[in-house]
Chains A and B, each alone.
Chain A
Amino acid sequence: MWGRKPRCVIRTKMASCSFEDVLAKAERDEAEKLKGITVSKELDLEFDPGNLLAFDKNRIDTREFKDCKREDFLRSLARDNTQLLINEMWKLPTERVEEVIVAKLPDPTTLLPREKPAPKPKPPTKWEQFAKLKGIQKKKKTNLVWDEVHKEWRRRWGYKRAKDDTKEWLIEVPENADPNEDQFNKRNKAKKERVARNEYNRLKNIARAQKIKVPGMGLAPTPRQSKAELAQAVNVAKISTASVGKFQDNLPKEKTPKNTGRKRKFQPLIGDFSSEKQKQLDLLKVMDSKKPRLDVTKAVNKQMREEDMESRHKNKKDFGKKGRRGKMSGKGKGKAGGKGKGPKGKGRKPQMKQGKR
């Protein structure tokens, strides 16, 4: 476009061509062309092509506005501003999408408030934490799987899936299983268990995410509780006292469970290498040293217990000479008194009544 005009000029006006004249003519032609779309304003407009927005800061002449031709004034103002905005839009990079010329919009620059506050990031689930630790990536799976039996492509899971366990009419009894066992039932039960465990883990993940405290297994109210669940509930209730169940008596024939308390927690297989190394070195150092390790707390407690025992024995010895008699007498009295009272009391009442009469 730029190259065309000078060539024309040179061809027709070969005689009077000086470089400046040529350039000036070209510029005038360009201006002539752009006359249609140029708009002169005092201040440039602010554009936001991402939002198709333009803002004109120029002062509006109120005198012109107050005349009867208000609509025309507004229309001409709008036309000028829209022309400038369209000029801006035409400067954007374009591409052709299905026979249509489309301009790619940049990001909007005017900040508008959000509708709702930003979502909080969800804490990762137990599996996600583990996968991150081990470096396991998600593998994208195909939607359809080839089913050999039906010789067609079927979905991986759901209605009419490729390998449907439930539709099998024949299950081989494995070698080490009981021949009278119902394999179909076994399969169904296993599936129900898996579903229940899945659901339980999902709810635990949600509870962990929302930081809701979940009671341990067997304590959440369920319609029918099994014997084991009830026993666990009883044990938990027993230790829910201020002294953690130390002074709770057992029912007759009830045995205290021995294996309660926390299970040992082991460090993960692949954890902090430096800390593991340090631990091993410390252990070796302890084994190497000749001095025995002294646990101060244990030693102090032991000492205190010994002192207590000693003082108790001492008291017993002293009292034994005096108090034994006293104790015995008290006991004897009580017994005798009790024994005496009993038949006397029993016998008394009817006598008294008779007396009254």
Chain B
Amino acid sequence: SKAQSQAKTRRSKRFLQSRQPKLTEDQKSSMIIRGGNTSQTVSQALKDVYALKKPNAVLYKRKNMVRPFDDSTALEFFSKKSDCSLFLFGSHNKKRPNNLIFGRMFDFHVLDMFELGIERFVSLRDVKTDTCPEGTKPLLVFAGELFETDREHQRLRSLLTDFFCGPRVSAVRLAGLEHVLHFTALEGKIYMRSYKVLLKKSGCRTPRIQLQDMGPSFDFVMRRNHMASDDLYKTAHRQPRGVKPKKKKNISHDAFGTRLGRLHMQKQDLDKLQTRKMKGLRKRRGEQTAETAAAAAKAPRTDE
């Protein structure tokens, strides 16, 4: 590709290759951007989310005079430079106080954006309990029928899942399920709570859960949003061919574990089957017509 041809060292070439599209993608990185003017609440909120999302996040602490809903080119430029597909933009003004915009990109263009206003915020610092280690994959719980019925809430649910779910893992340590993020949707407001999971003894193998308040808790109110069109959304979900494992057809296993295959044959004319040739039984040329006539008149001849 053009970018790779510009790489002059092997290290830079490897770096550019890691940014190329892949069949199965790595974990999405997120960029947390501070807007033109931020209040104490917003700044602290951004720092807390950055703490949750470390190490796959970058925090842009300086003021960025960007208006995402008017002009998203600046965000797209940042995303291309830092190779991040998720973003969180925080700002504060009189019209929209304590504003957070959650968003995601596809191919470095904005896919979805949701503007949420913070009504109440409890920071990590204010809650004096021990937290779980950085990078633990959190349990995500969404509650509320609005997440099912309302289209905007559905999209928001998908966006929040994308934002907060950690890396894709094949196995997880059962004792390490320590962090849970709980989102409740009620009357146009989203309540986000974060708890530490304590596994207590119960009579049986599965432990009893006790939750301890931890981490940032937000009371959001839904403001504007920008949802991607249906076909763009569909294109973003398109998986390449190599991802799904191909099913092997016509192979089955029976109860004993033996592997059975299935062959499909074309229709065979049993009269004209090619079997072993026995020279003595071959018909001579002269006798042929007489014999066939005789055979036709007689009973059905025996098959070889």
Residues on A lying within 8 angstroms of B by beta carbon are: 32-37, 51-60, 62, 65, 71, 74-75, 77-79, 81-83, 85-87, 89-90, 94-95, 97, 100-105, 108, 110-119, 206, 210
Contact = CB atoms under 8 A, between A and B. Distances in A.
Contacts of B197: 82, 86
B175 interface: yes
Contact of B142 (A37, A56, A75, A111): A56
Given A52-B137, A60-B144, A118-B240, 15 more contacts: A37-B204, A51-B161, A52-B140, A53-B139, A53-B142, A77-B182, A81-B141, A82-B141, A85-B180, A113-B158, A115-B105, A116-B108, A118-B23, A206-B5, A210-B1
B209 interface: yes
B56 to A, nearest CB: 12
6 contacts: A53-B165, A75-B211, A77-B184, A101-B173, A108-B168, A113-B236
Contact of A54 (B106, B140, B158): B140
Contacts of A111: 237
Contact of A90 (B162, B174, B187, B210): B174
B21 A119 contact: yes
Contact of B211 (A34, A78, A110, A114): A78
B25 interface: yes
A82 B144 contact: no
Q: Is the interface of B mostly helix, strand, loop or mixed?
A: mixed
Contacts of B105: 115
Interface in B109-136: 111
B170 A36 contact: no
Interface residues of B, number: 68
Given A54-B140, A85-B139, A103-B171, A78 B180 contact: yes
Contacts of B23: 118-119
A119 B213 contact: no
A115 B165 contact: no
B65 interface: no
B82 to A, nearest CB: 13
Which 4 pairs between the two chains have the least Cβ-Cβ distance?
A33-B203, A118-B240, A36-B202, A113-B236
B106 A114 contact: yes
Interface string B13-34: 0000000111101001000000
Contacts of B20: 119
A52 B275 CA distance: 63
Contact of A104 (B145, B162, B170): B170
B21 A118 contact: yes
